[in-house]
Amino acid sequence: MQIGFHTDAFNSSYWSFEQCLDWAHKNDLHYIECGAIDGVSWIHGLGYQPHVALWEDPLALRLKMDRLGIQLSQLDAAFPLSRPEGATLGVEYILHSIRWAHIAGCPRIDTTDDRFAPAAMTAAESMAHMRRIYAQIVTAAERYGIVINIEPHGYFTTKPEFMDEMLRFVDSPCLRMNMDTGNTFIAGQDPVAFLERFQTRVDHVHIKDVSASLAAASRGELTGIAVSHCAIGDGVNAANIRRCVDLLAAAGYDGVLSLECEGQGGPMIERSLAWMRRLLKETSSTVEHHG
């Protein structure tokens, strides 16, 4: 397993993507995940947003990252597809992201649904709506050799019965799951049980802890966390993260564990990185001992 991080850790620091690359290089990280901006944003244009815009040259970025020994593990294009706009804005956004990711050498795209069920649709209608969307985007993803991941982050995706149905929308190796330890926990699920159910479909993992105060105030009320203001290992989800990493190791997962937490300009995510490196070292030793 490899450690990476999501650049949203530096949203509050108003870093640019280039600053995130420098931080990754300094901390000997070789995988980075970022959001996709489909259009022009003044805050990004001024260098105060740590994501990439799809008007940027993907090949130029790829060559720059190659020189640093860093790869994109995933492009986050998580427009809430369960909303009615998912069929228009969401589809086009993801199709643009697929083409950009292919040139940039990024192997996967992250997608999800909205926190709330659409008021104008029943659950069955919402699922049929998303089935049509995923059929369209997965068809395109297959042409480009890109995996479309579904992340538990919303009303439907954090419920195992709906996630199970969504992962069967299309019979394709290009439709997989992005496990998120924090979102499943804050939604009231057991992250370990959630992972056990879907571990054969996992293609990418978000590692996120949850503070005791947030868990006490919002567990079962939220379906996702924009960014956790808690270093990984310091929260009430740490034991679940350990067990999830053990499960992934036992299943032979060799992909990326993408850290998601507030960075505080470096110090908080650096504590998270140190904790994860210790955990992976312990996990590796355990696997070797039992192997």
Is the per-residue pLDDT at 48 higher than 70?
Answer: yes
- Read off the pLDDT of each residue in 248-266 and give the average, rounded to a whole number: 96
One-letter amino acid for residue 55 of the chain: W
Tokens standing for residue 83: 């909303």
Per-residue pLDDT tens over the stretch 201-250? 999 999 999 999 999 999 999 999 988 899 999 999 999 999 999 999 99
Three-state SS string over 131-175 comes to: HHHHHHHHHHHHHHCCEEEECCCCCCCCCHHHHHHHCCCCCCCCE
Tell me what pLDDT residue 226 has: 85
With bands split at pLDDT 50, 70 and 90, how would you rate the model's confidence at 287? low
Inform me whether the pLDDT recorded for 290 exceeds 60. Answer: no
Average pLDDT over residues 122-141: 98
Please name the amino acid found at residue 267: P
Mean pLDDT over 104-123 rounds to 97
Per-residue confidence (pLDDT) for residue 142, from 0 to 100: 98
- Looking at residue 228, its pLDDT comes to 86
Q: What percent of the chain has pLDDT over 70?
A: 98
Please state whether the predicted TM-score (pTM) of the whole model is above 0.75. Answer: yes
The rounded distance, in Å, linking the Cα atoms of 184 and 225 is: 10
Q: Is the pLDDT of residue 52 over 80?
A: yes
pLDDT, position 284: 80
pLDDT band at 288, cuts 50/70/90?
low
User: Hey, what domains does the chain have and what are their CATH numbers?
Assistant: 2-290 (3.20.20.150)
Nearest to 180 by CA among 237, 100, 221, 254: 237
- Tell me the backbone φ, ψ of residue 55, rounded to 5 degrees: -85, -10
Q: For residue 17, which phi and psi values (nearest 5 degrees)? A: -65, -35
Instruction: Round to whole Å and give the CA distance between 40 and 250.
Output: 44
How many alpha carbons fall within 13 Å on the CB side of residue 132? 13
Average per-residue pLDDT for the chain: 96
Measured in residues, the chain has a length of: 291
Q: What is the pLDDT of residues 158-204, one digit of tens each?
A: 999 999 999 999 999 999 999 999 999 999 999 999 999 999 999 99
* Distance from C-alpha of 93 to C-alpha of 237, rounded to nearest angstrom: 33
Q: CA angle at residue 226 from 129 to 24, to 5 degrees? A: 115
Q: Which value, to the nearest 10 degrees, does the dihedral of the CA atoms of residues 35, 82, 102, 256 take?
A: 60
pLDDT at site 286: 66
Question: Does residue 5 register a pLDDT over 70?
Answer: yes
- The answer to whether 232 and 259 are in contact (CB under 8 A) is yes
DSSP secondary structure, the chain, as one string: -EEEEEGGGGTTTT--HHHHHHHHHHTT--EEEEEEE-S--HHHHTT--SSEETTS-HHHHHHHHHHHT-EEEEEEEEEETTSGGGGTHHHHHHHHHHHHHHHHT--EEEEE--SS--TTS-HHHHHHHHHHHHHHHHHHHHHHT-EEEE-S-STTTTSHHHHHHHTTSS--TTEEEEEEHHHHHHTT--HHHHHHHHGGGEEEEEE----HHHHHHHTTT-S--SS-SS-TTSSTTHHHHHHHHHHHHHTT--SEEEE-S--TTTHHHHHHHHHHHHHHHHHHHHHHHH-
